[in-house]
Structure formats: structure tokens, C-alpha cells
């Protein structure tokens, strides 16, 4: 498989997709580095108003070389967010509440782990048109969910985390993953054993590795502009500060890239054990580059939040329907052969039911971000 087709973990991007990155070779090694650094001012308005100056950031290294009749691949992703966002993360209205040091963080997105992926993979042909693959990681991503939002071309200019992240692609950082797969040039079938526990409150260490949950994913790239996937997982109950019951997780995604336009549609759902219906989320996001200097992007979401998700058990209905629409723009500031910088802003209009008005100040609480982004100036089509 082309090195550039892999987005996050073992999930596929369209072959036409672009992500800023550096490409090269060292002997028999093929190398690729990509990432992004935002310096953002984040302001959330309403009754739960907060603001913060911080940095959302990550860097990923991928390396591949021929070995034993196949191809061995290494992946590593790091983030300085435990330092640049602090352990409390950044303000984001209606994001899932999380335990933290005996308390609860509400309306905030947690930082990424210092080491968010450290994985080795091996692919080997088993015929003229079929191959087999192995992916193993003390910290990595199972075959469960779409390409994580960080690695989607449709979100390359957006510093904010989707509200549906915890249901759609939350397992992109999981402490303990083994994935086996079979693939052709257009289709891939995978199965994973992985750790169903949420990473703990300490973002700079390795959590205990275990394999107690299972998933499967079917991916298809029918043409260079398209990548389609569907998945199902059974996540084990866990204890500790981030305890949760057993649940089934399932969903589907469609990624599309044509020229400088990239779009993603994601459906993700959780079905807790004993529940009569799933908790659904939907996402549609898109980015369009207008020439060499300008980019516009947007995201529309529907999520069903439980009262526990909002830390409002006993104060509101057990489940609530929430919407959010975000629009953003970035203008290139300066570009060299290696680095590109841009100045951007995004705004979010949240849509909440009447019973949340008391807690958020209105039925349409808003959030704004202004930022400078630094990223590689080359793209993967030049590899």
C-alpha cells in the first residue's frame, strides 16, 4: 500500500488526498513527516464563558522499508499539548465532561498524550493481488472509527475537536492494540484486539497495556478521490476514574477529495449494554483551498448527549439533542520551501434545547478562536 494512503492507525485516506508533510528517503527507507502547530486564542461565551491562550499541536513520523519479502512500517506521533494546553485542555462548549483528579472537567477538550502513537506494522503479499498485514502498538489506534480528525484533509485548517469525537474516533490513542488485516488495492478487512480503557489523567506517561476489547472494519477505495469505511466494536467495561460500562460502538465514514476540496461525512454511535437504542452522532466537514493563499472550512454536527456527558445528571433530561455549526477562514502569512504559516479564525454556533438555556445562557451559545498555524509547506502528492 502507498505510505500516503494511511491516515491514522491503519485507516485509509483517498489516494488523491493531500496533507502537508515532508517526504524523502534514506537508503532503503521511505520517510514521511507531517504535523501542525496552532497558537490559538480560544473564547467561549455564555454562562460557562472561558478563554485561554494555548497551542494545539502534533507531529507524526512514518517510515517504511522492504523486509522479509514484504514491507515493515513504523509510526510515531507526539504532542506537546500537556504543556501548551495544560492538563485541563482548552475550553469547548458542550464537549464531553471528563473526570480529572477527583473532580469533573466540563466544556473542555483534554490535551493529547505526549506520545499518542508508537507502532510497528508489517505487510506481506500472499498472492498477486492480495496481501496480509499486522499492526502492533503499545499506544496506537485499533480498527474502530474513521481516519481521526487530526489526519483528515477536510480538517487540516481547523484547530478544534469535533463534538462527536468521543463516539467517532476517540480510540485513536489507545494503550494496547493488535490488528490483523487482509487487503487488495481497493479493499481492506481488519480485526483488532485493544484496550477499552480511557487514557488516564496523566498525559505524559504510558498506561497499562491490555487487550480486552475487539473490533472489525471494512475499508474500500473505489476510486482515487474516495475512501469509504464501516466498523463495529465491542468495548469492555472498565473501572478507575474513567469507568464506563460495556458498550458496542459502530459507524461509517465517507471521505472525498477532488483537487483542493476535501469533505468528510462520519456517523458514529454507541450502544451501552442494556440500552434500548444507540447514542448517535453525525458530522459533515469540508475544506476548500482558494488559490495559494486562502482556505475556507466548515463543520456541521449533530450529537446526542446524555446528562452524564454534560455533568448534569438530575438537572436535565437523560438524553438531549445538540447541534453545532462552525465556519472558518485562514489566510497565508509567509511561506518558505519548508514551512508555511497562516492567520485564521473560526466561529461556532451551538444549538441546544430549552432545558440547557439555564446552564449555557441561551439556546445558541457561541465560541470563537483566532490563531496562527505553522505547518509543512509541501504536500503528499509530491512524494
Q: Could you give the C-alpha distances from 375 to 82, 135, 379, in angstroms and in order? A: 20, 28, 10
Q: What is the pLDDT of residues 65-95, one digit of tens each?
A: 999 999 999 999 999 999 999 888 999 999 9
Residue 238 has what pLDDT? 86
Residues belonging to the chain: 383
Residue 114 has what pLDDT? 96
Q: Is the pLDDT of residue 383 over 60?
A: no
Region 135-157: mean pLDDT is 97
Phi and psi at 4, nearest 5°, equal -75, -15
Residue 377 has what pLDDT? 86
Region 249-267: mean pLDDT is 98
Region 216-229: mean pLDDT is 98
What distance in Å separates the CA atoms of residue 250 and residue 10, rounded to the nearest whole number? 17
Q: Is the pLDDT of residue 103 over 90?
A: no
Reduce the DSSP state of residue 82 to 3 states and report it: helix
Residue 381 binned pLDDT confidence (cut-offs 50, 70, 90)? very low
Residue 209 has what pLDDT? 94
CA nearest neighbour of 313 among 359, 368, 347? 359
Q: Is the pLDDT of residue 18 over 60?
A: yes
Residue 31 binned pLDDT confidence (cut-offs 50, 70, 90)? very high
Region 30-59: mean pLDDT is 96
Q: Can you say how many angstroms the Cα of residue 155 is from the centroid of all Cα atoms in its chain? A: 10
What is the homologous superfamily of the domain 3-382 according to CATH?
A: Porin (2.40.160.10)
Does the reported pTM lie above 0.85? yes
Residue 46 has what pLDDT? 95
Percent of the chain with pLDDT over 90: 85
Average pLDDT, the chain: 94
**Residues linked to residue 165 through DSSP beta bridges, in sequence order:** none
User: Between residues 300 and 336, which one has the greater pLDDT?
Assistant: 300
Side-chain half-sphere exposure of 356, counting CA atoms within 13 A: 26
> H/E element holding 341?
strand 339-351
Q: Is the pLDDT of residue 202 over 50?
A: yes
Helices in 67-126 by DSSP H: which ranges? Answer: 81-84
Q: What is the pLDDT of residues 268-296, one digit of tens each?
A: 999 998 888 999 999 999 999 998 899 99
Residue 86 has what pLDDT? 84
What distance in Å separates the CA atoms of residue 231 and residue 128, rounded to the nearest whole number? 27
Q: Is the pLDDT of residue 200 over 50?
A: yes
Reduce the DSSP state of residue 154 to 3 states and report it: helix
Residue 308 has what pLDDT? 92
Please say whether the beta carbons of 251 and 165 come within 8 A.
no
What distance in Å separates the CA atoms of residue 162 and residue 179, rounded to the nearest whole number? 26
Least confident of 73-77, 239-243, 249-253: 239-243
Q: Which triple of cell numbers denotes residue 321?
A: 439533542
Residue 380 binned pLDDT confidence (cut-offs 50, 70, 90)? very low
Residue 379 has what pLDDT? 59
Region 307-334: mean pLDDT is 96
Residue 201 has what pLDDT? 84
Burial-class residue 174 by CB neighbours within 10 Å (0-12, 13-18, 19+).
Answer: buried
C-beta neighbour count of 159 within 10 angstroms: 22
Amino acid at each position: 500500500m502507498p505510505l500516503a494512503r494511511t491516515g491514522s492507525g491503519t485507516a485509509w485516506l483517498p489516494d488523491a488526498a493531500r496533507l502537508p508533510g515532508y517526504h524523502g528517503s534514506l537508503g532503503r527507507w521511505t520517510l514521511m513527516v507531517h504535523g501542525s502547530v496552532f497558537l490559538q486564542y480560544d473564547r467561549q461565551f455564555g454562562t460557562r464563558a472561558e478563554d485561554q491562550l494555548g497551542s494545539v499541536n502534533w507531529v507524526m513520523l512514518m517510515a517504511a522499508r522492504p523486509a522479509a519479502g514484504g514491507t515493515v512500517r513504523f509510526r510515531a506521533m507526539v504532542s506537546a499539548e500537556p504543556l501548551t494546553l495544560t492538563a485541563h485542555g482548552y475550553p469547548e462548549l458542550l464537549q464531553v465532561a471528563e473526570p480529572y483528579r477527583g473532580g469533573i472537567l466540563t466544556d473542555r477538550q483534554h490535551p493529547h498524550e505526549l506520545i499518542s502513537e508508537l507502532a510497528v506494522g508489517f505487510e506481506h503479499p500472499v498472492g498477486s493481488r492480495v496481501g496480509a498485514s499486522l499492526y502492533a502498538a503499545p499506544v496506537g489506534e485499533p480498527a474502530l472509527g474513521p481516519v481521526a480528525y487530526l489526519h483528515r484533509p477536510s480538517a487540516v485548517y481547523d484547530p478544534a475537536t469535533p463534538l462527536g469525537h468521543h463516539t467517532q474516533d476517540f480510540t485513536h490513542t489507545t494503550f494496547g492494540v493488535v490488528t490483523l488485516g487482509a487487503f487488495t488495492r481497493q479493499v481492506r478487512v481488519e480485526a483488532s484486539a485493544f484496550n477499552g480503557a480511557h487514557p488516564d489523567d496523566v498525559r505524559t506517561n504510558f498506561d497499562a497495556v491490555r487487550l480486552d476489547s475487539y473490533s472489525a472494519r471494512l475499508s474500500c477505495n473505489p476510486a482515487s478521490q474516495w475512501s469509504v469505511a464501516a466498523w463495529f466494536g465491542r468495548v469492555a467495561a472498565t473501572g478507575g476514574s474513567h469507568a464506563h460500562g460495556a458498550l458496542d460502538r459502530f459507524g461509517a465514514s465517507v471521505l472525498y477529495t477532488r483537487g483542493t476540496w476535501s469533505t468528510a461525512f462520519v456517523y458514529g454511535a454507541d450502544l451501552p449494554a442494556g440500552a434500548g437504542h444507540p447514542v448517535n452522532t453525525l458530522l459533515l466537514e469540508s475544506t476548500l483551498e482558494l488559490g495559494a493563499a486562502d482556505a475556507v472550512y466548515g463543520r456541521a454536527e449533530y450529537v446526542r448527549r446524555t446528562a452524564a456527558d454534560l455533568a448534569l445528571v438530575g438537572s436535565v433530561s437523560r438524553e438531549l439533542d445538540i447541534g453545532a455549526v462552525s465556519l472558518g477562514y485562514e489566510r497565508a502569512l509567509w511561506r518558505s520551501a519548508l514551512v508555511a504559516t497562516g492567520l485564521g479564525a473560526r466561529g461556532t454556533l451551538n444549538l441546544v434545547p430549552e432545558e440547557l438555556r439555564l446552564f449555557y445562557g441561551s439556546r445558541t451559545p457561541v465560541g470563537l478562536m483566532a490563531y496562527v498555524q505553522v505547518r509543512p509547506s509541501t504536500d503528499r502528492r509530491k512524494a
